[in-house]
Amino acid sequence: MADFDPDESGCEHLRVQAHAKVNLYLDIIGSRSDGYHEIETIFHSIGLHDDIYLRKRIDRQITVHCEHPHVPCDPRNLAYRAAKLLLDNTPDLSGVEIQILKRIPVAAGLGGGSADAAAVLYGMNALFDLNLTQRDLMQLGVQLGADVPFCILGGAALGRGIGEILTPLPPLEEAWILLVNPGFEIPTAWVYQQINLSLTVPKKNVTILARCLQNGEFVNVARHLYNGLEVPVLSKYPAVAEIKTKLGNRPGSCGVLMSGSGATVFALMQSQAEANLAAANFENDFAFCRATPMSRVGLRIS
Ligand code: ATP
């Protein structure tokens, strides 16, 4: 971060907090010819976030800096692709320098790349006074990835289609979760390949969980957590199953689920104190372990 001072030059730069998400519910209901899957999901933003620093450039170049070894600093980066999309759509826009302070574990089911892309769209809209609406940004975002529209919307939402048809829900108030990641990546494509859509397995109903959120019933939300991708992951990766068991047995844990295609597992915790205590207890056992509050927002300019 040494060559980037966000306090240096007035409105020529800004910082956006890009929040991670968890899926409180995820069911795969069909496949599509474009490789995406039809899903029913309930997204929720969480406090854990990356910081995205944006600075105007005088040319039309896009540069990306990130010190995380698994995050590419080139056109493969979703944040780069978000900036490119805006530049391609806005002829007189100058370029942008993007610095990513990565806190969200990478390829972990927490939507880190999508959050960064959302932050670039949102931040550049403010930095360059583009006057795009949230809806405009979400329509651009879906071209980058299925989770990007939710990362722009933030809070809690029911997602249908590929996750881009969103109905906002009231976020959980003052709830804390514990996140644990074993430190290895699970290939998302492999996980989806394991889903046999013709197999009729008993599923939970997304509308029940949505209603629990609408009524602010924390314990019932925790009781109805569901992820249809868990079965293949837990049977192939015993380390993830072990995390699930450990989090489930932890005092104060009300419900445990793998997020997205894994490998992060989260527990909805009864209190901040129990979440922090559990995080301290597991700190040395896992590659990543963090207590964090649920968040009402996906993005924040700070
Ligand atoms: P999702 O939950 O949306 O499926 P994820 O959290 O599992 O996403 P990401 O952290 O977004 O996964 O990373 C997926 C891949 O994208 C990684 O292999 C990573 O190298 C690449 N990538 C590109 N841009 C970024 C970025 N800005 N941050 C993190 N990863 C990125």
Q: 277: helix, coil or strand?
A: helix
What's the CA dihedral at 212, 167, 173, 231 to 10 degrees?
60
> What pLDDT score was predicted for residue 32?
87
Based on the domain organization, do 210 and 276 belong to the same domain? yes
Tell me what the mean pLDDT of segment 162-188 comes to.
95
Same domain, 156 and 279: no
Tell which atom from ligand 1 comes closest to the C-alpha of 145.
3
The mean per-residue pLDDT over the stretch 137-141 comes to 98
* Alpha-carbon gap, residue 62 to 119, rounded angstroms: 15
Average pLDDT on 180-209 reads 84
The residue segments making up the domain with residue 159 are 13-169
Q: When comparing pLDDT for 198 and 153, which is higher?
A: 153
| Total domains present in the chain | 2
pLDDT of 69 higher than 70: yes
Compute the chain's Rg from CA coordinates: 19
Do residue 151 and residue 181 come from a single domain?
Answer: no
Pocket-testing residue among 85, 106, 264, ligand 1, by greatest number of atoms within 8 A of Cβ: 106
Residue 87: predicted pLDDT:
96
Same domain, 29 and 79: yes
Q: What is the pLDDT of residue 195?
A: 85
Provide mean pLDDT across the span 30-54. Answer: 94
**C-alpha angle 63/93/126, rounded to 5°?**
85
Q: What is the pLDDT of residue 203?
A: 67
Residue 102 has a CB neighbour count (10 Å cut-off) of 18
pLDDT of residue 11: 63
Distance in angstroms (rounded) separating the CA atoms of residues 296 and 302: 15
Average pLDDT over residues 154-176: 96
Query: Which residues, other chains included, contact 150 with Cβ-Cβ below 8 Å and sequence gap of 6+?
Result: 21, 43, 111, 114, 157, 159, 163, 164, 166, 298
Q: Atom 14 (ligand 1): residue with closest C-alpha? A: 107
Q: What is the mean pLDDT of residues 3-26?
A: 77
Average pLDDT, whole number, for the chain? 93
Q: What is the mean pLDDT of residues 220-244?
A: 95
Same-domain check for residues 263 and 279: yes
Query: At 257, which CATH number?
Result: 3.30.70.890
Q: How far is the CA of 78 from the centre of ligand 1 (A)?
A: 8
At residue 8, the pLDDT reads: 43
Per DSSP, the three-state class of 53 is strand
Q: How confident is the model at residue 200 (pLDDT cuts 50, 70, 90)?
A: low
Q: Which residue has a Cα nearest atom 17 of ligand 1? A: 107
pLDDT at 199: 61
* Residue reference for tokens 């309930």: 42
| Mean of pLDDT values over 165-184 | 96
* Residue 300 maps to a domain: no
Q: Are both 107 and 143 inside the same structural domain?
A: yes
Contact indicator for 271, 193 with CB cutoff of 8 Å: no
| Ligand 1 lined by 181 (C-beta under 6 Å) | no
**What is the model's pLDDT at position 295?**
98
**Per-residue pLDDT at 131 exceeds 60:** yes
Task: Give the C-alpha separation, 277 to 225, whole Å.
Answer: 23
Identify the domain boundary among 115, 146, 169. 169
pLDDT at residue 202 is higher than 70: no
- 17 and 159: one domain? yes
Q: At what angle do helices 112-127 and 134-141 cross, to 10 degrees?
A: 140
Whether the CB of 71 sits within 6 Å of ligand 1: yes
